[in-house]
């Protein structure tokens, strides 16, 4: 049993966490790509190097292009399978000529009688007679270094080194993501939002409402209990998209709540997005109703495990319902409450899908929580600038916080006692 468990743990927890950990220390983004980068000298690279002391002459030498119709070029074209008639034309009419730009050379080639119809074929043939270094993708550092040395031998070696470094398009290792998270004021707001969201949802709904419902149902006749338990399960078993759409019908202009409010003379507007307070209330309730059913089931099960004799005995002693709950029931529900609290804290910390589909962190960014921001940063935003590295760093923070909280909960609720050996023999 242990081996499969370890394998599953490895595949679904340690590997993703490890990858997140690695990505978190890179500047990986849409522009760098996920895989290995290439080496490209662009006008932007030259401009950047210009700021760091690359002379205008050097920049010109590097960006200079020349196309020469000579033996070497003709041989290369022959090897690449250039059409024989076209090649013959080139040899006959252009041998010995040189061209300053690709465009000039292409124009000359297009004038040849056997020039291919396809622009791509013609341009590919032109490339065989010499190339500009600028804007070419080199797969390895050595390839670029070699080409640079051949193309612009007069440029100082350290400048060529710097240029090669700057030309790398892939991701590099950095601790910048964590510096940024540690210094930006936005981090504080995200933490406050997340604390409010998790704290309120957990205390009011997942534990509070769940416990309240479980207690109320416990004292009700059996058939009623079954019906209500099933009803409270609906939010959990409804597909997320459908559930969020129902909340939109419920809270948007012309939805159920605003229409009701209008009848009662209360302010009626889009409660989900129209004000910060109602957006928070909507977001907490819609997540809370899902969590409440989870607590309800667990607490109901635990309540049934309490020996009825204890309740009868307390009633004989004259205890009221409240006293019964406080002195007899709640102490015996400590473990389920521990479990619901710790489990739901972790799941709320990392959940964003319901928020994304409803308030989407708005109005403005007032209901944006950590997990939603991590998701948007890494995977989904308007400008399409996906910052995988920063997003991974944010996710890693969640993993660390989650682990720390788990340990704290376990100590706080003395988990060791729960799983320890029973003191009496059965």
Partner 1 sequence: MPSQNLLRGAAALLLSCAALPALAQDYTITVWAGGTGDDSNYRMDAIDMAADILEREAAIRGEELSITVESQAWSGWDDFKQAFTLASEAGNAPDLIVSGHEDIGPWSEAGLIVPIEDYVYLDTWPLSSIYPNLIDVASFNGQIWGIPQDAEARVMYWSIPALEAIGWSEDEIASLPDRILNGEFTLYDMLDALKAMQDDGVLEPGMGFGPRVSNGPDYWQFYQAFGGEMADPESGKLVLDTEALTGMYQFFVDAADMGVVSSTHLGMEWDAWHQNAAAGNYGAWHGGTWHYAQWTNQFGLEDFFGTVQYTLIPAGDENGRANSITHPLVYLLTAAAPEEEAAIAAELVAIASEPRINALHAVKSAHLGISEEETLVPLYAENRWLTAASERLAPHTNAIPNNSDFGTYWTAMYEGLEASWTGVTSVEDAVAEVEASVTQALGDDVIVR
Query: Does 71 help bind partner 1 (rule: CB under 8 A)?
Result: no
Query: Does 141 help bind partner 1 (rule: CB under 8 A)?
Result: no
| Nearer Cβ to partner 1 (138/289) | 138
| Nearer Cβ to partner 1 (47/326) | 47
Query: Does 138 help bind partner 1 (rule: CB under 8 A)?
Result: yes
Query: Does 383 help bind partner 1 (rule: CB under 8 A)?
Result: yes
| Nearer Cβ to partner 1 (112/333) | 112
Binding partner 1 (rule: CB under 8 A), the pick from 93, 136, 236, 354 is 136
| Nearer Cβ to partner 1 (187/347) | 187
Q: Which two tokens stand for residue 185?
A: 């004021």
Distance CA 310, CA 317 (A): 11
Query: Does 183 help bind partner 1 (rule: CB under 8 A)?
Result: yes
Query: Does 265 help bind partner 1 (rule: CB under 8 A)?
Result: no
Distance CA 1, CA 221 (A): 42
CB of 273 to partner 1, least distance (A): 5
Query: Does 399 help bind partner 1 (rule: CB under 8 A)?
Result: no
Least Cα distance to 53 among 165, 184, 159 occurs for 159
Query: Does 371 help bind partner 1 (rule: CB under 8 A)?
Result: no
Query: Does 347 help bind partner 1 (rule: CB under 8 A)?
Result: no
Binding partner 1 (rule: CB under 8 A), the pick from 81, 265, 331, 416 is 81
Distance CA 101, CA 63 (A): 11
CB 239 within 8 A of CB 353: no
Binding partner 1 (rule: CB under 8 A), the pick from 61, 134, 196, 338 is 134
CB 388 within 8 A of CB 28: yes
Least Cα distance to 347 among 299, 397, 398 occurs for 398
By CB under 8 A, the residues from 228 to 247 that bind partner 1 are none
Binding partner 1 (rule: CB under 8 A), the pick from 178, 228, 250, 252 is 252
- Burial tier of 282 (Cβ tally within 10 Å: 0-12, 13-18, 19+): buried
Q: What is the DSSP letter of 328?
A: I
| Nearer Cβ to partner 1 (30/320) | 30
Query: Does 360 help bind partner 1 (rule: CB under 8 A)?
Result: yes
Alpha carbon separation from 183 to 187, 304, 358, 370 (Å, rounded):
8, 51, 30, 16
Least Cα distance to 283 among 356, 190, 380, 206 occurs for 356
Contacts of 267 (CB under 8 A, 6+ apart): 261
Contacts of 398 (CB under 8 A, 6+ apart): 349, 350, 370, 371, 374
Q: Contacts with partner 1: how many residues (CB under 8 A)?
A: 75
CB of 365 to partner 1, least distance (A): 5
CB of 25 to partner 1, least distance (A): 16
CB of 425 to partner 1, least distance (A): 58
By CB under 8 A, the residues from 31 to 70 that bind partner 1 are 31-35, 38, 40, 42-44, 47-48, 51
Q: Which range, of 10-18, 118-126, 196-204, 342-350, touches partner 1 by CB under 8 A?
A: 118-126
The residue behind tokens 């997990």 is 371
Distance CA 246, CA 278 (A): 17
CB of 300 to partner 1, least distance (A): 39
Q: Which range, of 10-18, 77-85, 93-101, 292-300, touches partner 1 by CB under 8 A?
A: 77-85
Distance CA 150, CA 152 (A): 6
Distance CA 157, CA 244 (A): 61
Q: What is the CA radius of gyration of the chain?
A: 34
Query: Does 117 help bind partner 1 (rule: CB under 8 A)?
Result: yes
Query: Does 160 help bind partner 1 (rule: CB under 8 A)?
Result: no
CB of 88 to partner 1, least distance (A): 12
Query: Does 83 help bind partner 1 (rule: CB under 8 A)?
Result: yes
Q: Where are the beta strands (DSSP E) in 15-146?
A: 39-40, 67-68, 98-99, 137-138
By CB under 8 A, the residues from 269 to 288 that bind partner 1 are 270, 273-276, 279
CB of 235 to partner 1, least distance (A): 23
Binding partner 1 (rule: CB under 8 A), the pick from 71, 111, 139, 157 is 139
């Amino acid at each position: 049993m242990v081996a499969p468990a370890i394998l599953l743990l490895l595949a679904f927890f340690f590997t993703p966490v490890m990858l997140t950990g690695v990505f978190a220390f890179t500047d990986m983004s849409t522009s760098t790509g996920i895989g290995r980068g290439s080496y490209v000298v662009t006008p932007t690279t030259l401009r950047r190097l210009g700021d760091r002391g690359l002379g205008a002459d050097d920049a010109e030498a590097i960006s200079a292009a020349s196309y020469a119709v000579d033996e070497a070029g003709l041989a290369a074209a022959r090897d690449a399978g250039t059409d024989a008639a076209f090649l013959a034309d080139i040899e006959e009419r252009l041998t010995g000529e040189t061209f300053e730009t690709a465009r000039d050379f292409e124009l000359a080639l297009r004038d040849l009688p056997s020039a291919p119809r396809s622009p791509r074929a013609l341009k590919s043939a032109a490339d065989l007679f010499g190339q500009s270094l600028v804007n070419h993708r080199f797969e390895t550092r050595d390839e670029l270094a070699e080409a640079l040395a051949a193309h612009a031998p007069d440029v100082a070696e350290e400048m060529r080194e710097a240029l090669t470094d700057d030309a790398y398009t892939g991701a590099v290792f950095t601790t910048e993501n964590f510096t940024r998270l540690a210094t930006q004021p936005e981090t504080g707001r995200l933490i406050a939002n997340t604390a409010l969201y998790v704290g309120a949802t957990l205390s009011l709904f997942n534990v509070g409402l769940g416990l309240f419902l479980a207690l109320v149902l416990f004292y009700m006749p059996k058939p009623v209990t079954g019906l209500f338990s099933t009803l409270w399960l609906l939010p959990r078993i409804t597909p997320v998209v459908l559930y969020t759409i129902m909340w939109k019908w419920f809270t948007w202009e012309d939805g159920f709540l605003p229409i009701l409010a209008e009848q009662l003379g209360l302010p009626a507007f889009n409660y989900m997005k129209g004000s910060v307070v109602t957006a928070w209330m909507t977001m907490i309730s819609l997540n809370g109703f899902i969590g409440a059913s989870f607590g309800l089931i667990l607490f109901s099960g635990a309540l049934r495990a309490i020996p009825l004799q204890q309740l009868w005995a307390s009633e004989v002693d004259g205890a009221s319902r409240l006293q019964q709950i406080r002195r007899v029931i709640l102490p015996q529900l400590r473990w389920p409450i521990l479990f619901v609290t710790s489990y739901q804290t972790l799941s709320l910390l990392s959940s964003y899908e319901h928020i994304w589909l409803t308030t989407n962190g708005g109005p403005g960014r007032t209901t944006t929580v950590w997990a939603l921001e991590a998701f948007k940063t890494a995977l989904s935003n308007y400008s399409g600038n996906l910052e995988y590295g920063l997003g991974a760093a944010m996710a890693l923070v969640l993993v660390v916080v989650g682990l720390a909280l788990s340990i704290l909960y376990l100590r706080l609720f003395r988990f060791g006692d729960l799983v320890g050996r029973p003191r009496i023999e059965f």
